[in-house]
Structure 1
């Protein structure tokens, strides 16, 4: 059977790697990956039956050349800039974020159309709704408005999502998958950040009530959703022009998530101290000043406090109905796998 050509942008990244692996499991796709840092020849880290090409989404000419050579039926666009630390909660450094997340997406759409692709699956984010930082979002669905985010990431993803959906047509179908914060092996944000709280002595402190619920999603589940979306756009096309939230479907309190992660590293706080949100916010403000004065970023800021004290979870009923999406790996199992992987990384560093 002739394999269907699929192109994945950012296919060497955290999510992109998982998407490529999930596509390979189907055994009906010929995969091309573009990335600014593709693996070197002979690399044993990446699968050898995938074509890797060095390409920047901000380079339209090279992008078009690569797309024209691979002639994908569907493009999966995972490339994006996600600011970490205090920049996550502001517009600081927005130029690069908007350039990659918005202009890069426009370039991918143009190249996809010009090479004759049938459509695009776009990796969006729950932040297109959730990044109104001082608001609670409970059981959100796809009818909720976007474009109100107060962060460079949330706003850039909302603009890019609109561009992708506006490109949907009878001969070029598009959809957007709004992923919750992703964790898993090689995660550089969630697991490492929560683990760092142990050494910093911050685990006893509860910001706000600690009873607010938030969504997370294991990386394999997000990859599965992308593969389902590809199949949909190639066949029934019921996902065309649609957005869908992709989460693990099990909202968890911030405190319970932290405790579950710390437990995997053999740590249980010996006591607990609840810090009211207003006081925590002032502490975050002070921490920001210390960071500015010392040019070293700490683990606390007003953005982190606000984000950590809010309810942020969405319904995945639409993804279940349209794509047949069902989280394959539970939150508990995913956390265990992720923490064990991170522990091996830490052990490897200590032996150097």
Structure 2
């Protein structure tokens, strides 16, 4: 993207990005600096990675969002107008206790810190997975689709994200703190530079010579979203909340952003294995599909279950999990009309450009790790 002249940058005031050294968080910081007038601070458990140069003026603070006494002094010092809360364990890495502690309990603490320090706008990173039970397809689903109840939600990560989102939205214009406006962004299939799940997973299959296998018939559309586009949606929401905070009365239902959740995608659903092959092609793969062996979902689930048990016995990670089989065979594409209309959202980076950027970053990282080992 071409640099935006300082005179054309939209003002955001003081912005605190929680989890700002993480995958999505550091892309948010980058985009704020590129496109907005703002004083930027970052709060993370550890702030040693993904830091901007000192010359960029970003302030970094270590803090534990599950402990009010740890983060409230940061809020009081930085005096944020906007808080963007992205902190969360990754969906595949956390244990149940960690998901509960960070996603639910930590978000409650963040809300309390916002209320105690006069924050105007809180934008929460939720997940599109909260409307998926990982069994039934999502076909052009939008925000009218219900959040999956705990009794039907098979993924504990998604359950905790849903609980946290509910707390955030309930805090909007609450009787005890009516000036705090909140909303939630629900990304789908986030990937990009710094990704530790999507891109590395597909690339590992390529490096391990597994491109000849396909789970399911590849007739399932899936939404993947480039990380900068998700950051863009968060900042559009923050702008809308700040604007709303200046009004003497709430916006009409079809206009309002505060108290609302927004699904975000690249607006380019793609067949699941076509996305995988686009990543493999960007990494150098020139083979077509003539060598591909299609494995049905039932057989794939049986193999994954067996590998799961072997993994439990050997204490080694399984190369295929039941969750991976489910995701690679299910249809999951979304209607983002609400975000388009109310936030003015449109992707900044196309799906193909995002794939090429993500793969280049991953290859460069792999090369850098190889150089370090050889030294």
TM range (shorter): over 0.9
Contact 1:147 1:159 in 2 (8 A): no
User: Per-residue deviation at 1:271?
Assistant: 0.2
Matched, 1:37 2:46: yes
Secondary structure of 1:271 counterpart: coil
User: Per-residue deviation at 1:112?
Assistant: 0.4
Q: Please name the residue that 2:171 is paired with.
A: 167
1: CA distance between counterparts of 2:197 and 2:54?
Answer: 22
Count, aligned residues? 343
User: Per-residue deviation at 1:199?
Assistant: 3.0
Q: Please name the residue that 1:253 is paired with.
A: 271
2: CA distance between counterparts of 1:77 and 1:208?
Answer: 36
User: Per-residue deviation at 1:300?
Assistant: 0.8
Q: Let me know the Cα RMSD of the aligned residues.
A: 1.8
2: CA distance between counterparts of 1:228 and 1:73?
Answer: 15
Contact 1:181 1:216 in 2 (8 A): yes
User: Per-residue deviation at 1:45?
Assistant: 5.2
Q: TM-score, normalised by structure 1?
A: 0.93
User: Per-residue deviation at 1:48?
Assistant: 3.5
Q: Taking structure 1 as reference, are residues 197 and 46 closer, same or farther at Cα in structure 2, changes over 3 Å only?
A: farther
Matched, 1:319 2:339: yes
Contact 2:52 2:58 in 1 (8 A): no
Q: Please name the residue that 1:102 is paired with.
A: 104
User: Per-residue deviation at 1:46?
Assistant: 6.7
The 5-angstrom pairing of residues 270-285 of structure 1 reads 271-285=291-305
2: CA distance between counterparts of 1:156 and 1:326?
Answer: 28
Contact 2:12 2:239 in 1 (8 A): no
2: CA distance between counterparts of 1:316 and 1:156?
Answer: 23
Q: Please name the residue that 1:90 is paired with.
A: none
Secondary structure of 2:56 counterpart: coil
Q: Please name the residue that 1:294 is paired with.
A: 314
Contact 1:39 1:52 in 2 (8 A): no
Q: Taking structure 1 as reference, are residues 218 and 94 closer, same or farther at Cα in structure 2, changes over 3 Å only?
A: same
User: Per-residue deviation at 1:3?
Assistant: 7.0
Structure 1 residue runs without a partner (length 5+): 88-92
1: CA distance between counterparts of 2:294 and 2:54?
Answer: 45
Matched, 1:190 2:205: no
Q: Taking structure 1 as reference, are residues 343 and 123 closer, same or farther at Cα in structure 2, changes over 3 Å only?
A: same
The 5-angstrom pairing of residues 58-137 of structure 1 reads 58-84=66-92, 93-130=95-132, 132-137=133-138
